[in-house]
Structure 1
Amino acid sequence: MSDCLFCKIINKEIPSEIVYEDEFVLAFKDISPQAPAHVLIIPKTHIASAMELNEQNAEIVSKVFLAAGKIAKQLGIDKNGFRIVNNCGEDGGQTVGHLHFHMLGGRNLGWPPG
Structure 2
Amino acid sequence: MMPGSIITPDWLLPDNVGVAITTRAWGNLAAHVGDDPAQVLLRRRRLHRQLQLPVAINFLTQQHTATVSKYPKIHRPSDGVYANRIASCAVLTADCLPLLICSEDGLQIAAVHAG
Q: Fold conserved (TM > 0.5)?
A: no
Q: TM-score range by the shorter chain?
A: 0.3 to 0.5
What TM-score do the two structures reach when normalised by structure 1? 0.38
TM-score, reference length from structure 2: 0.38
Larger helix proportion of the pair: 1
